[in-house]
Protein backbone atom coordinates (compact mmCIF):
# COMPACT_ATOMS: atom_id res chain seq x y z
CA UNK A 1 0.00 0.00 0.00
CA UNK A 2 1.40 3.40 -0.92
CA UNK A 3 0.61 6.02 1.68
CA UNK A 4 0.09 9.66 0.92
CA UNK A 5 1.40 11.88 3.68
CA UNK A 6 0.21 15.36 4.51
CA UNK A 7 1.87 17.92 6.72
CA UNK A 8 1.06 17.20 10.37
CA UNK A 9 -0.90 19.90 12.18
CA UNK A 10 -0.74 18.70 15.80
CA UNK A 11 1.02 16.36 18.17
CA UNK A 12 0.05 12.70 17.72
CA UNK A 13 -0.19 12.08 21.48
CA UNK A 14 -3.77 11.57 22.51
CA UNK A 15 -5.16 12.20 25.97
CA UNK A 16 -8.44 11.38 27.65
CA UNK A 17 -10.20 14.45 26.33
CA UNK A 18 -8.19 16.62 23.96
CA UNK A 19 -4.71 15.18 23.71
CA UNK A 20 -1.46 17.11 23.71
CA UNK A 21 -1.91 20.83 23.15
CA UNK A 22 1.77 21.75 22.71
CA UNK A 23 2.89 23.38 19.43
CA UNK A 24 4.16 20.99 16.79
CA UNK A 25 7.97 20.60 16.71
CA UNK A 26 8.36 18.07 13.90
CA UNK A 27 6.90 15.29 11.78
CA UNK A 28 8.21 11.75 12.21
CA UNK A 29 10.17 10.50 9.23
CA UNK A 30 8.96 6.94 9.85
CA UNK A 31 5.21 7.28 10.54
CA UNK A 32 4.52 10.89 9.42
CA UNK A 33 2.79 11.74 12.71
CA UNK A 34 3.34 15.19 14.12
CA UNK A 35 4.91 15.63 17.54
CA UNK A 36 5.71 18.35 20.05
CA UNK A 37 9.08 18.84 21.80
CA UNK A 38 7.95 16.52 24.63
CA UNK A 39 6.91 13.64 22.35
CA UNK A 40 9.76 13.39 19.84
CA UNK A 41 13.19 14.59 18.82
CA UNK A 42 14.46 16.82 16.03
CA UNK A 43 18.12 16.24 15.25
CA UNK A 44 20.53 18.59 13.50
CA UNK A 45 20.97 16.25 10.53
CA UNK A 46 17.32 16.70 9.42
CA UNK A 47 16.06 13.72 11.40
CA UNK A 48 12.66 13.96 13.03
CA UNK A 49 11.53 10.96 15.10
CA UNK A 50 8.50 10.71 17.38
CA UNK A 51 8.57 8.84 20.70
CA UNK A 52 6.43 5.88 19.54
CA UNK A 53 8.15 2.53 20.17
CA UNK A 54 8.09 1.35 16.51
CA UNK A 55 9.72 4.58 15.32
CA UNK A 56 12.36 4.53 18.07
CA UNK A 57 13.11 0.89 17.15
CA UNK A 58 13.65 1.89 13.51
CA UNK A 59 16.03 4.68 14.51
CA UNK A 60 18.03 2.31 16.75
CA UNK A 61 18.03 -0.35 14.03
CA UNK A 62 19.55 2.05 11.50
CA UNK A 63 22.42 2.95 13.83
CA UNK A 64 23.13 -0.73 14.48
CA UNK A 65 22.79 -1.59 10.78
CA UNK A 66 25.33 1.03 9.64
CA UNK A 67 27.85 -0.24 12.18
CA UNK A 68 27.22 -3.83 11.05
CA UNK A 69 27.72 -2.90 7.37
CA UNK A 70 31.12 -1.39 8.13
CA UNK A 71 32.27 -4.64 9.74
CA UNK A 72 30.76 -6.81 6.96
CA UNK A 73 32.45 -4.80 4.19
CA UNK A 74 35.81 -4.94 5.97
CA UNK A 75 35.50 -8.74 6.27
CA UNK A 76 34.57 -8.97 2.57
CA UNK A 77 37.78 -7.12 1.62
CA UNK A 78 39.67 -9.98 3.28
CA UNK A 79 37.63 -12.52 1.25
CA UNK A 80 35.58 -13.65 4.25
CA UNK A 81 31.86 -13.94 4.96
CA UNK A 82 30.47 -10.63 6.22
CA UNK A 83 28.99 -12.20 9.34
CA UNK A 84 31.17 -11.67 12.44
CA UNK A 85 32.87 -14.81 13.80
CA UNK A 86 32.54 -16.69 10.47
CA UNK A 87 35.81 -17.62 8.77
CA UNK A 88 34.22 -19.15 5.67
CA UNK A 89 34.87 -17.66 2.23
CA UNK A 90 31.98 -15.58 0.92
CA UNK A 91 29.78 -17.14 -1.75
CA UNK A 92 27.14 -14.60 -2.74
CA UNK A 93 25.70 -11.22 -1.75
CA UNK A 94 22.66 -10.17 0.25
CA UNK A 95 20.12 -8.55 -2.06
CA UNK A 96 19.05 -6.15 0.66
CA UNK A 97 22.26 -4.79 2.25
CA UNK A 98 24.90 -5.74 -0.34
CA UNK A 99 27.87 -7.40 1.43
CA UNK A 100 28.82 -10.96 0.56
CA UNK A 101 28.17 -13.93 2.86
CA UNK A 102 28.71 -17.69 2.96
CA UNK A 103 25.86 -20.05 2.08
CA UNK A 104 25.13 -20.71 5.78
CA UNK A 105 24.35 -17.00 6.39
CA UNK A 106 22.16 -16.48 3.31
CA UNK A 107 18.57 -17.60 2.88
CA UNK A 108 16.06 -17.22 0.07
CA UNK A 109 13.04 -15.41 1.47
CA UNK A 110 9.71 -14.28 0.04
CA UNK A 111 9.14 -10.57 0.64
CA UNK A 112 6.36 -8.28 -0.52
CA UNK A 113 7.40 -5.45 -2.85
CA UNK A 114 5.89 -2.80 -5.10
CA UNK A 115 6.22 -3.22 -8.87
CA UNK A 116 4.85 -0.26 -10.83
CA UNK A 117 2.40 0.49 -8.00
CA UNK A 118 1.24 -3.12 -7.68
CA UNK A 119 2.06 -5.21 -4.62
CA UNK A 120 3.65 -8.56 -5.37
CA UNK A 121 5.94 -11.21 -3.95
CA UNK A 122 9.68 -11.34 -4.64
CA UNK A 123 12.12 -14.07 -3.70
CA UNK A 124 15.29 -12.43 -2.39
CA UNK A 125 18.54 -13.85 -1.09
CA UNK A 126 18.92 -12.22 2.35
CA UNK A 127 21.57 -12.47 5.04
CA UNK A 128 20.68 -13.44 8.60
CA UNK A 129 21.14 -9.81 9.69
CA UNK A 130 18.54 -8.53 7.19
CA UNK A 131 16.10 -11.34 8.00
CA UNK A 132 15.98 -10.18 11.62
CA UNK A 133 15.47 -6.56 10.47
CA UNK A 134 12.37 -7.40 8.40
CA UNK A 135 10.16 -7.47 11.51
CA UNK A 136 11.28 -4.00 12.63
CA UNK A 137 10.47 -2.48 9.23
CA UNK A 138 7.19 -4.33 8.59
CA UNK A 139 4.21 -2.07 8.01
CA UNK A 140 2.22 -1.23 11.10
Per-10-residue mean pLDDT of the chain, 140 residues long, equals 68 77 89 91 89 94 95 95 94 95 95 84 94 84
Total domains, the chain: 2
Is there a single domain that holds both residue 31 and residue 41? yes
- d(CA 120, CA 130) in angstroms, rounded, equals 19
Residue-range definition of the domain harbouring residue 7 = 1-51
Helices 128-137, 53-77: inter-axial angle, 10-degree rounding: 160
Is there a single domain that holds both residue 42 and residue 57? no
Which pLDDT belongs to residue 14? 76
Is there a single domain that holds both residue 43 and residue 27? yes
Which pLDDT belongs to residue 1? 45
Q: Whole-model pTM?
A: 0.78
Residue 59 phi/psi, 5° resolution?
-65, -45
125 forms bridges with which residues in the sheet?
A: 108
Is there a single domain that holds both residue 42 and residue 14? yes
Which pLDDT belongs to residue 139? 66
Amino acid sequence: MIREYTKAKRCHRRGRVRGCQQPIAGQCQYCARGFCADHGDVFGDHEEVCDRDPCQAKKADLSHHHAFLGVARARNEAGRCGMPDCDTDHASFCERCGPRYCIVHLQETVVMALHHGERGADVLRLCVHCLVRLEVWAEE
